[in-house]
Amino acid sequence: MKDPQETRNQREEKDRVKVGDRRAFTPDGQRRVPDQEPAQSSQTTPAEPAIRGDGFEIRPTGPQSPGEPSPTVQFNAFVVSLASTAFIHLGELADPVTGRNETNLDGARQMIDILDMLREKTRGNLDPAETELMNGVLYELKLKYASKASGK
């Protein structure tokens, strides 16, 4: 039989909360080295598959590390961000908040319309790679949307 004191100590150890300072700068303005994160548990969610289309590929990314500078926004990254949102609404990618794949055709239609508007407003100002990305993303999204809207 287990010692009650030993069981209580194990329970206290399990319930212990670790507090770490995640601020990017010290009070005097110096860049802080972030505290070391604890090792991730062996329970990981399976990686989602990438969505591939004609001239593009969208891969789900993990969360950004604290203190990691935000990348500068590039046109292609902006288009992929809008397309990712549309794919989430179409249920092709898991919602990053809920972790579930849910279909929202109104949301998907709105994102497709935004991308269409962006293509029209930038016509003649994109390089060939950006044009190919925009056309490929819109083609794939419209195809998926038509399939979902028709119930297939």
Helix (H) or strand (E) holding 120: helix 105-121
Domain for residue 149, yes or no?
A: yes
The token pair that represents 29 in the structure block: 């303005």
Kindly state whether residue 107 falls inside one of the protein's structural domains.
yes
Is residue 9 a part of any domain in this protein?
no
Q: What is the pLDDT of residue 3?
A: 62
Query: What element of type H or E holds 52?
Result: strand 51-53
Closest CA to 19 of 30, 39, 35, 33: 35
Q: How far is Cα 79 from Cα 136, in angstroms, rounded to an integer?
A: 11
Q: What is the pLDDT of residue 122?
A: 94
Establish if 78 belongs to a structural domain: yes
Regarding pTM above 0.85, the answer is no
Is residue 5 domain-resident? no
- What's the confidence (pLDDT) of residue 73? 72
Of 29, 89, 84, nearest to 61 by C-alpha is 84
Residue 35 pLDDT = 52
Q: Which domain holds residue 124?
A: 73-152
How high is the mean pLDDT in each 10-residue block of the chain (152 residues)? 62 64 67 53 54 66 66 83 94 88 94 97 93 94 94 75
Query: Cα 57 to the chain's mean position, in Å?
Result: 14
| Burial of residue 94, with CB atoms counted within 10 A of its CB: 0-12 exposed, 13-18 middle, 19 or more buried | middle
What is the number of structural domains in the chain? 1
